[in-house]
Structure 1
Amino acid sequence: MAAHNDIGQESERLAMEWLESKGYIFQEANYRYKHAEIDLIMIYRGILIFVEVKFRSGTGYGYAEEFVDYKKRQLIIRAADNYIHEKDWLRDIRFDIVGVYKDKFGNVRFKHFEDAFY
């Protein structure tokens, strides 16, 4: 597996554990629908949350939220619509972005953007 895939999977695992520590309940990872993938699906306070995880080794080229463009958002929304239909989810939903930042010393920090788009 390519190194960037390993980093992506590790970032998703770290983000999931961090969200769980904040009271989020894990539902599913890497949900795929056609050409779209949702990194994490969580529930928090009765809200179904679709989470896009972005890893950055620094902010020199921009922040995590800047890398979720219009096309990516549309793909996530389409996959979320399918998931909602599959699960017959009738309550509120939300789309979040979690930035996973690792500095040159290996320290990890998170930046959470709740209700980042729709």
Structure 2
Amino acid sequence: MARKDDLGRRGEDCAAEYLARAGYTVVGRNWRCGQGEIDLIVAKDGDLVFVEVKTRSGTGYGHPFEAITVAKLARLRRLAGAWCAQFEPRARHIRIDAIAVIARPGHAPVVEHLEGVS
């Protein structure tokens, strides 16, 4: 399990760096409540974005985006609502994005970003 956790952490680090280079500010990481966890919370141009990061070492078990199910999206919407209720952000728009990281051993990670998945 530690190997999977390390891969997930590496993917979240890659996603945070990717978003920072794209002009986003990281507001939070790994925010948890009784309903689950939000990987990244970022802001840009007055928008608040909740980001689900999926990382794989390859695509042998499918693309990372395939792991984001309808149930997972519903949970992310609930989590985003819980975060907003707790922190009362002043955002122009709020959305949920997904980032896939494919981190093949010996290769630079490949990052894909989908905006507004839910």
| TM-score normalised per structure 2 | 0.91
- Within 1, Cα distance between the matches of 2:16 and 2:102? 14
1:28 aligned partner, one-letter code: G
- Within 2, Cα distance between the matches of 1:6 and 1:16? 15
Partners of 2:11 and 2:103 within 8 A in 1: no
Partners of 1:27 and 1:42 within 8 A in 2: yes
The match for 2:86 is 86
- Within 2, Cα distance between the matches of 1:35 and 1:82? 9
Give unmatched runs, 5+ long, in structure 2. none
Q: After superposition, what is the alpha-carbon deviation per residue over 1:6-26, rounded to whole angstroms, capped at 9, x for unaligned?
A: 111111011101110110000
1:26 aligned partner, one-letter code: V
User: Percent identity over the alignment?
Assistant: 35
Give unmatched runs, 5+ long, in structure 1. none
Partners of 1:55 and 1:99 within 8 A in 2: yes
- Within 2, Cα distance between the matches of 1:34 and 1:111? 29
Aligned length: 117
Partners of 2:15 and 2:53 within 8 A in 1: yes
The alignment partner of 2:48 has SS state of strand
Root mean square deviation, CA, Å: 1.4
| TM-score normalised per structure 1 | 0.91
Q: After superposition, what is the alpha-carbon deviation per residue over 1:71-100, rounded to whole angstroms, capped at 9, x for unaligned?
A: 211221111101111121243101000001
